[in-house]
Amino acid sequence: MKRKIAAILSLDVVDYTKRMSEDAEKTLNALQRILGEVIKPLVNENTGRIFKLMGDGALVEFAAATDAINAASQIFYQMRNEDLSLRAGIHVGDVMPNDTDLFGEAVNIASRLQSSAQSGSCLVSKTAAEVAGTSLAVSLRPENSIRLKGIPNPVEAYSIDLDGDKRRAKNKLLATSQDIRFAKSKDGTTLAWTSSGSGTKLLVTPNWLRHLEYDWTMNSIAGWLPLLSEIYCLYRFDGRNNGLSERGVQDVSLNRIVEDVEAVMDAAQIEKIPLFGVSFGATIAAAFAAYHPDRVSGLVLFGGFAQGLAVRSQPGIAALGQAMMDMSLEGWNDEYPSARDLMAQSFAPTASPHDQSTYAEFMRVAMDHQDWLKIGPLVASVNITDLLPQISCPTLVLHANRDRMHDVEQGRIFASGIENARFIGIETANNTMPEYDPAWPKALQEIERFMSSL
């Protein structure tokens, strides 16, 4: 029998049997109306074909994964105000045509995913998400691996994020409404800074990569920005050779970046403030607190490291860092796959493929190749373990238990080296956590508890 590859969307009505027993005529009328006014037009609009109609659902074939996912998101968006609720599953794989019907793996897995989906949601297999790549018009949220009946291995899946459009529109508005100002560091370097949100003031130290103009719209794995901006007044700035700050600066050293933090605090007329640092930003925050204890009221160190990849005692980690550096020596501006894509996947391995790709492109926008060649070696070789005993302020250390880029041991080094620091392991693999990471509620709870104690 001839085979082909297809994207399959499986749809069904939630609690169909119960609804039929309660009011068969009303249920059938509603189903027929939704089929004729919502499902069929959107399937046709996305060049799909309904190849099987069941009493309570449908199986749909698409030539492209992108079309299947976009069609599903449009269907569910229109179903938000309906009395009937749907659930769905999407997979890409082998199918075997039999007249107008289709059989095979793609149909089986799509149907199993649909059965596992919550009411009003659509599960998309990782295979389908990866095939769709960056061309999706919707956001996907990673879900736990799912064991499906009759399928020997767990299936990694995502769910369609129906609120993604609203979130993107809100973030775009926040990006365009920023009041960006400029400060001068001790060596004359110009630094772009801004603030967002309201409430208790919190200064975000610069990471190795930032761009105030695009942080809201392209830094897709930085969930801390929108989440913390809802609670606190965040002060942020682009580090030297980043974003809107001065590019091409030759002196990119730890001491100079510490001076940059002081310059922005002075420009913002902040005498003392808690600091929030993510990844390399945690290194900067800790160093600043050691050198300027009178200006820091507390530290939140998230996914940070006291030792760069090149100076750790783990040969495999050092080799990973060197491999990334070697790839990026000439390949920073390469199209996919590039060193930037590898970095994005390492920073946020469970983020959606679309968000990983967006973040990889954000790297190119935020920093050019020559600036990366200055900053990269510093990030790899930094070592502030000798500064940790000098830190006297209250400190909260949060670290992903399954962090691939910066092992959880780096979080423990911070916590053991800083007197009375509190360490919290976060159950995620993401060093930089997207907004939809399931571990965020616990992290936010711990941050709020810590901040309220200062």
- Are the beta carbons of 243 and 275 closer than 8 angstroms? no
Examine the pLDDT at 214 and tell me if it is beyond 70: yes
* Percent above pLDDT 70 for the chain: 97
- Are the beta carbons of 2 and 8 closer than 8 angstroms? no
pLDDT for res 277 = 97
Mean pLDDT of the chain: 90
pLDDT for res 315 = 67
Instruction: List, as own/partner pairs, every contact residues 344-347 make where C-beta atoms lie below 8 angstroms and the sequence separation is at least 24, other chains included.
Output: 344/221, 346/320, 346/404, 346/405, 346/431, 347/221, 347/279, 347/405, 347/430, 347/431, 347/432
Examine the pLDDT at 153 and tell me if it is beyond 90: no
125-145 mean pLDDT: 82
pLDDT for res 146 = 80
Q: What is the DSSP string of 129-187?
A: HHHHGGG-SSEEEE---B--TT-SS-B-EEEEETTHHHHHHHHHHHHHT---EEEE-TT
Examine the pLDDT at 170 and tell me if it is beyond 80: no
pLDDT, tens digit, for every residue of 228-267?
999 999 999 999 999 999 999 999 999 999 999 999 999 9
Report d(CA 126, CA 109) in Å as an integer. Answer: 12
Residue with the larger pLDDT of the pair 313 and 348: 348
Examine the pLDDT at 71 and tell me if it is beyond 90: yes
pLDDT for res 165 = 67
Question: Predicted confidence band at 207 (pLDDT cuts at 50, 70, 90)?
Answer: very high
| 304 Rama sector, left if φ>0, alpha if ψ -120 to 50, beta otherwise | beta
Question: Predicted confidence band at 74 (pLDDT cuts at 50, 70, 90)?
Answer: very high
Q: Which amino acid is at 40?
A: K
- Are the beta carbons of 437 and 349 closer than 8 angstroms? no
Examine the pLDDT at 14 and tell me if it is beyond 80: yes
Examine the pLDDT at 93 and tell me if it is beyond 70: yes
Q: Where are the domains of the chain?
A: 4-162, 166-453
pLDDT for res 227 = 92
Least confident of 302-306, 331-335, 351-355, 445-449: 331-335
pLDDT for res 148 = 81
Q: Residue 172: CB partners within 8 Å, gap ≥ 6?
A: 216, 217
Span 166-453 CATH architecture? 3-Layer(aba) Sandwich (3.40)
Residue with the larger pLDDT of the pair 137 and 416: 416
Report d(CA 279, CA 405) in Å as an integer. Answer: 9
How would you class 310 by CB atoms within 10 Å of its CB: exposed for 0-12, middle for 13-18, buried for 19 or more?
middle
Residue with tokens 């204890």: 293
How would you class 93 by CB atoms within 10 Å of its CB: exposed for 0-12, middle for 13-18, buried for 19 or more?
buried
Report d(CA 360, CA 448) in Å as an integer. Answer: 30
203-227 mean pLDDT: 93
Examine the pLDDT at 285 and tell me if it is beyond 90: yes
The two three-digit tokens of residue 191, written as one number = 């630094």
Same CATH fold assignment for domains 4-162 and 166-453: no
Residue with tokens 């901040």: 451
Model confidence, pTM: 0.80
> Euclidean distance between the first and final Cα of the chain, in Å?
70
Examine the pLDDT at 21 and tell me if it is beyond 90: no
Least confident of 234-248, 311-325, 424-438: 311-325
Q: What is the DSSP string of 408-438?
A: HHHHHHHHHHSTT-EEEEES-S-SS--TT-T
pLDDT for res 27 = 86
pLDDT for res 140 = 84
Examine the pLDDT at 340 and tell me if it is beyond 80: yes
137-163 mean pLDDT: 81
Q: Residue 383: CB partners within 8 Å, gap ≥ 6?
A: 306, 307, 308, 311
- Cis check: omega of the bond before 434, within 30 degrees of 0: no
CATH number given to 4-162: 3.30.70.1230
pLDDT for res 1 = 62
339-350 mean pLDDT: 87
Coil, strand or helix at 299: strand
52-68 mean pLDDT: 91
